Structure 1
Amino acid sequence: MPSLLIRLNPQLLSNPDLDIRYELPDRLHELSNGLLRPDGFDYEDGADGLLIFMEADDLEAVIPVVINALENEEVLGNRLAMVARVGASPFDNADVLSDFVVIYPQDEAGSQMV
């Protein structure tokens, strides 16, 4: 099952409440009508990144939902468009940054998440 990764830098959040690791995936699950499902979180080794993993049956269908949410939704008082990077991976249960290719922001699209 394809995977999606959202990397946030908590230090750049207006409200650095780490409950965002639960709230954001739940909100994306809701907005995608269940097409996007939470798949855990981790903290980036040697950096400040919060890594939120999600899985989807159809990445093409959920990518616009994720981008729209980042640009237009507020989660725990945070607008996420300026502090988020999103990567996609065709691999089942991808869990390392090098498995993901950036799809958002657009100016970084095609590069690896590392």
Structure 2
Amino acid sequence: MHLTPISVAYFAQIVLMTITSVFLFYRSRQPASNVPLLRFSSASFAGMASILAAMLCDGALNAPWNLYARFWIMSLVALQSIPLFGLLYSIPSWDARYRREFVIVLLLSSARLLYEVYWS
């Protein structure tokens, strides 16, 4: 790996996002907290740290190894959309009729994730 200013910046962001994710997950385990929001935030920060790690590998590795990281970036983006839709349907008090919509969105997100993993 090449040690460049960009790779150092990505690494610093990865470390900060990982620390923030662990802290938010720890806070969600305490009784007087908004558990769905804190768990979603923790998953978001962990997902972004994973994406940044793949971007770090993409920028710091020589060809052909950087291509592996480049393809995994889209898989990680697809993976991060699943907790996002889970949050959208869990925080407000949704009516039971929206359950079918949630299942459809979850299946489409999972299909996109499988498609991206297949191509990566």
Q: TM-score, normalised by structure 1?
A: 0.24
Instruction: Mark the structure with the bigger radius of gyration.
Output: 2
Larger RCO (CA under 8 A, 6+ residues apart) = 1
More helix by share: 2
User: What is the TM-score with the length of structure 2 in the denominator?
Assistant: 0.23
Relative to its length, the structure with more strand (as a share) is 1
